Amino acid sequence: MKCMLCWLLTLICIAAETMGYGLHGIPIARRINTRLMSVEMKQEGVSRDEILNQMQLSKEEIKEYVRKGTAPEFALPDDSTIETPYQRGLLATHFGVTFLNLMMAISCMHLDNINNILSYIAVIIGSIILGDFSTGVFHWSVDNYGSIKTPIFGSVCVAFQGHHESPWTITFRSFANNVYKICYGTIPALIILSVFTNIDPMVRTFFSLYINWWLISQEFHKYSHMRKAPKIIKYLQDWGIILSKKEHGLHHTSPFEAHYCILTGICNPLLDRTNFFRYLERIIYKLTKNTPNTWNADNDLQNVY
Ligand SMILES: [Zn+2]
Ligand SMILES: [Zn+2]
């Protein structure tokens, strides 16, 4: 129950941030402007002390700026940390269709006995575990295969592989800017789900949450890279409810061969201990003769059994 409450709280915090207020109480638009201003001034060769002076920041904002320190660097030429109304619109659509699906499920739920209540709790936990596993498989696939020439997923492959070069860039992104590309997958999936009106409410609850974790995981990923995450996020990371800095930090060393799951990281120990991804890599190699980037970085990995 404590776990569920924490997840609910996290969603509320993220929703609050989407509506324009950061967890430090600084409006997010102001935080983004601060970052952009500092990046521009840095490019013009202005020193950090001078930047802080010119921006007339509050104590809280100085802390925010100093901990970022470095300017974002992009793997894709058309990428940017500027949040746009289009990105906000996609995010609002995503949460709108999620809300619709959850309302459809709730209207058919029968929570009149303990067995049903326990079943729904199991559905929520199951969606989180399968969600974590799925983020791992997706992350592994785009880290290891594909390039800008890959159809549909080319830009995603470059973005994930580029993230290894400049992992701090993600911390400059607002919620909408960080996750809007994932909405291209989640919105159609949620719309398809809502079209099937006769689905069992448990199945609808499971898929509504599961599809949401695809998107939320990228925001948790961002928090795991922040030098100083917001307090509530830090607590959730420390309690192991969401992806921790330490867990994801283990992924960020060459050859980037492990710790791929980014929702909670709960599946990482089992997947890494069983060499799950090495097995997948060998199957793909047998079928296509494509070698993963991890093998290219460390030859010994192709012999792991
Ligand atoms: Zn990676
Ligand atoms: Zn990362």
Ligand closest to 141 (CA) is 1
Residues 6+ apart with CB under 8 A from 159: 75, 76, 79, 181
205 closest CA partner among 134, 114, 117: 117
Predicted structure pTM score: 0.77
Q: What is the pLDDT of residues 11-30, one digit of tens each?
A: 554 554 544 444 333 444 44
For residue 209, name the pLDDT band (cuts at 50, 70, 90).
Answer: very high
Ligand closest to 221 (CA) is 2
- Backbone torsions φ then ψ of 87, nearest 5 degrees: -65, -40
Ligand closest to 178 (CA) is 2
Share of the chain above pLDDT 70, in %: 77
| Assigned token pair, 12 | 């509320």
Distance 288 CA to ligand 1 centre (A): 22
Ligand closest to 160 (CA) is 1
Ligand closest to 222 (CA) is 2
212 closest CA partner among 85, 89, 81, 99: 99
Spans of all domains in the chain: 2-25+85-273
Distance 251 CA to ligand 1 centre (A): 7
Distance 278 CA to ligand 1 centre (A): 15
Q: Sign of torsion, CA 30 82 166 268? A: positive
Q: What is the pLDDT of residue 49?
A: 56
Q: What is the pLDDT of residues 46-101, one digit of tens each?
A: 555 565 566 665 655 555 544 444 688 888 888 999 999 999 999 999 999 999 99
Name the least confident of 32-46, 220-234, 258-272. 32-46
Query: Residues 288, 132, 147, 222: what is their CA dihedral angle, to the nearest 10 degrees?
Result: -170
Distance 257 CA to ligand 1 centre (A): 8
Q: What is the pLDDT of residue 74?
A: 87
Ligand closest to 224 (CA) is 2
Q: Give 27's strand partners.
A: 21
Distance 70 CA to ligand 1 centre (A): 20
Q: Which residue has the higher pLDDT, 34 or 108?
A: 108
Distance 252 CA to ligand 2 centre (A): 7
Q: What is the pLDDT of residue 67?
A: 43
Three-state DSSP class for residue 279: helix
- On average, the pLDDT of the chain sits at 84
Ligand closest to 167 (CA) is 2
Name the least confident of 36-45, 125-134, 187-196. 36-45
Query: Residues 72, 78, 79, 85: what is their CA dihedral angle, to the nearest 10 degrees?
Result: 130
Distance 28 CA to ligand 2 centre (A): 22
Ligand closest to 217 (CA) is 2
Distance 210 CA to ligand 1 centre (A): 21
Q: What is the pLDDT of residue 93?
A: 98
Distance 169 CA to ligand 2 centre (A): 10
Burial of 235 (0-12, 13-18, 19+ CB in 10 A): middle
Distance 112 CA to ligand 1 centre (A): 44
**Does 180 score more than 50 pLDDT?**
yes
Residue 21 is classified by DSSP as: B
Q: What is the pLDDT of residues 256-275, one digit of tens each?
A: 999 999 999 999 999 999 99
For residue 37, name the pLDDT band (cuts at 50, 70, 90).
Answer: low
Distance 296 CA to ligand 1 centre (A): 15
Distance 160 CA to ligand 1 centre (A): 6
User: Are the C-beta atoms of residues 38 and 55 closer than 8 Å to each other?
Assistant: yes
Distance 241 CA to ligand 1 centre (A): 21
Q: Which residue has the higher pLDDT, 106 or 64?
A: 106
Residues 6+ apart with CB under 8 A from 251: 258, 259, 260
